[in-house]
Amino acid sequence: MTEGLKQATLALRGGITARQPGVSVTPDIVPGSSFYADAEGVGFSANELTGSPPPFYTRWGNPTLTLLEDRLTALEGGAGSVVFGSGMGAISALFLSRLKSGDHLVLSNVCYAGAAELALDILPGYGIEVTRVDTSKTESVAAAIRPGKTRLVHIETPANPILRVSDIAAIAEIAHRAGAEFSVDSTIATPVATQPLLLGADYVVHSLTKYLVGHGDALGGSITARDIENATALRAGPLIHFGAVLSPFAAWLILRGIETLPARMRIHEENARSVARYLEGHPAVASVLWPGLESHPQAEIARRQMKNFSSLLSFTVKGDAKALASRFARELQVISYAVSLGKTVSLLFYIPTDDLLRSAFRLEGEAQADYRAAAGEGVFRLSVGLEDADDLIADLARVLD
């Protein structure tokens, strides 16, 4: 029973019902791929899947995966969740199941590179039209809607890598007024900071690879739906037939990570605040982008919809950024020069603007100018970990000073 429990408790107890003597307090891994079946139960075809049948075949469902799904549902305040083998597996499942030829998608023009490339390179081949806008400008979302044709509005907030923040409640109203569904990639925020379903979203997507597992040792993705019918459809359709299934062992690692998520996010945020303030005051730094700073362009929205500002920040520098990136890679001793985010350890990586605009974002005109205004010639994306903040600052100072 999880009704009324706080998130720190849900992170530990969400989805757990068995408390009988002899049952392990720590959830077991169930690695099996098939399960004893009732001759009168589930049919051989997944097309006959309805309700919540007992485990039958792990591509359809598995006790370890089910526990993870139930815990995510509790943390997000949703009706049901489906987990996938990666964050891109989740995004692909959402787009390719909710959109068909002739439909229109409105998408954040700054988002995870894989999602941008899927929208630009794959969806048009299926006859799906895509309009990308700066979703931090609510009026741009409204202008992009095509009544009767727009089926899905998808945003990422905060958006990787320049941490734009979009108004979830306002965009939900715009999408629903037009008869479209609305999904939010909340990977950077996590459910500790924001619960998009409670602000009007129909779906919330996570790359479980990041903050949820927290230790950088498992890939995973998830979709939590506001309505149980949509969660069931995601399982019966894209999960089972596209096959991007999460392994039980990865699910168990993610469950273990979620247990400490609320506590980790407190330290992540505290450290990020210290590092962001240090960088903002450094003479070699041109700008710092972190939702918790008063200087952030959408600071007011962030304060309204985020209980925790997470630990991903980006900064630009006044000198030769590429040369500085090489020095960071060689000289950092505490922070790791590597991609990804949300780990216990701090990660820094340089993202050149020209490279990103050419390969993934492909922005033009005003959209490109807006991105360049925020990112300059490139951003240093820093995922602040759980090390002592003084040690992180000293490590940065070793190179910046």
pLDDT digits (tens, 9 = 90+) for 45-98: 666 666 667 888 889 889 999 999 999 999 999 999 999 999 999 999 999 999
**What's the rounded Cα separation, in Å, for the pair 230 and 226?**
8
pLDDT of residue 131 exceeding 90: yes
The third-level CATH classification (topology) of the domain covering 7-256 is Aspartate Aminotransferase; domain 2 (3.40.640)
pLDDT digits (tens, 9 = 90+) for 354-364: 999 999 999 99
Quickly tell me which residue has 């500790």 as its tokens.
192
Instruction: Give the pLDDT of residue 17.
Output: 79
Active-site residue identified among 103, 134, 167, 185: 185
Active-site residue 126, yes or no? no
- Give percent of the chain with pLDDT exceeding 70: 97
pLDDT digits (tens, 9 = 90+) for 311-332: 999 999 999 999 999 999 999 9
> Is the Cβ–Cβ distance between 111 and 156 less than 8 Å?
yes
Instruction: Give the pLDDT of residue 284.
Output: 98
Mean pLDDT of the chain: 95
Domain range summary for the chain, segments of one domain joined by +: 7-256, 262-400
Active-site residue identified among 210, 235, 264, 273: 210
Which of 129, 131, 127, 126 is CA-nearest to residue 106? 131
Quickly tell me which residue has 């340089």 as its tokens.
350
Instruction: Give the pLDDT of residue 57.
Output: 86
Give, as one character, the DSSP assignment of residue 272: H
Mean pLDDT of 271-289: 98
Instruction: Give the pLDDT of residue 40.
Output: 72
Active-site residue 350, yes or no? no
Higher pLDDT, 16 or 253: 253
Residues 6 or more apart from 225 whose CB is under 8 A from it?
78, 79, 80, 81, 82, 202, 203, 231, 234
- Give percent of the chain with pLDDT exceeding 90: 89
Active-site residue 59, yes or no? yes
pLDDT of residue 1 exceeding 70: no
CA dihedral 190, 192, 194, 198 (to 10 degrees): 120
What is the amino acid identity at position 158? Answer: P
Mean pLDDT of 149-173: 98
Active-site residue identified among 13, 59, 277, 307: 59
Which of 126, 131, 127, 125 is CA-nearest to residue 153? 131
Q: Which residues pair with 242 in a beta bridge?
A: none
Instruction: Give the pLDDT of residue 203.
Output: 98
pLDDT digits (tens, 9 = 90+) for 340-351: 999 999 999 999
What tokens appear for 219 in the block? 């890939």
The answer to which of 204-208, 235-239, 286-290 has the lowest mean pLDDT is 235-239
CB atoms within 10 A of CB 386: 19
> Is the Cβ–Cβ distance between 263 and 8 less than 8 Å?
yes
Active-site residue identified among 71, 98, 103, 112: 112
Instruction: Give the pLDDT of residue 38.
Output: 79
> Is the Cβ–Cβ distance between 345 and 336 less than 8 Å?
yes
Instruction: Give the pLDDT of residue 54.
Output: 80
pLDDT of residue 30 exceeding 80: yes
The class that CATH gives domain 262-400 is alpha beta
